[in-house]
Amino acid sequence: MKVTVTVNGSEVAAEVADRTLLVHFLRDVAGLTATNVGCDTSSCGACTVLLDGRSVKSCTVLAAQADGRAVTTVEGLSGGADELHPVQRAFRAEHGLQCGFCTPGMVMASVSLLAENPSPTEDEVRSALEGNLCRCTGYHNIVRAVLAAASERRPR
């Protein structure tokens, strides 16, 4: 079937098998490999992207379900390595990543969290990120990064 998705602002159209997962569409068709696959049970959140502004696990969404909609991946979050989004900047400043594999999904989940709750408590951050697994950081610095990003965005 033909699927057309606006990915990071650009239209990507392709003929794909019906069963194509959104994450494979992003990686193999759109050529955007930052979004990773870390499990096959929707448990780990490494594949988290924004679909029409809300976070989804792209391993659990068919490309067909994204037809005509807009997807944002971590590649589309900022203008590049020299121009980080506040959440990306906070992850770097707080050492919220090590191997980097969970990071694109973790960043997108954090962006989504802050869009829904701009001033979360530590407990709210921990609870909101329960669906995103990280094996390197023990979450300590990820939580600090999200809180720091929230505090940076808050009007003073």
Cβ neighbour number for residue 97 with a 10 Å cutoff: 21
- The residues pairing with 13 across neighbouring beta strands, listed in sequence order, are 4
Closest among 143, 154, 155 to 119, alpha carbons compared: 154
Rounded to the nearest 5 percent, the helix, strand and coil shares of the chain are 35, 15, 45
Contact flag: residue 62 with other proteins (CB under 8 A): no
Contact flag: residue 74 with other proteins (CB under 8 A): yes
Binding string, 37-56, against other proteins, x = CB under 8 A? xxxxx-xx-x----------
Q: Quote the least distance from Cβ 41 to other proteins, whole Å.
A: 5
The residues that touch other proteins, with contacts defined as CB under 8 A, are 17, 19, 24, 27, 31, 33-41, 43-44, 46, 74-75, 77-78, 80-82, 84, 88, 91-93, 95, 97-104, 107, 122, 125-127, 129-144
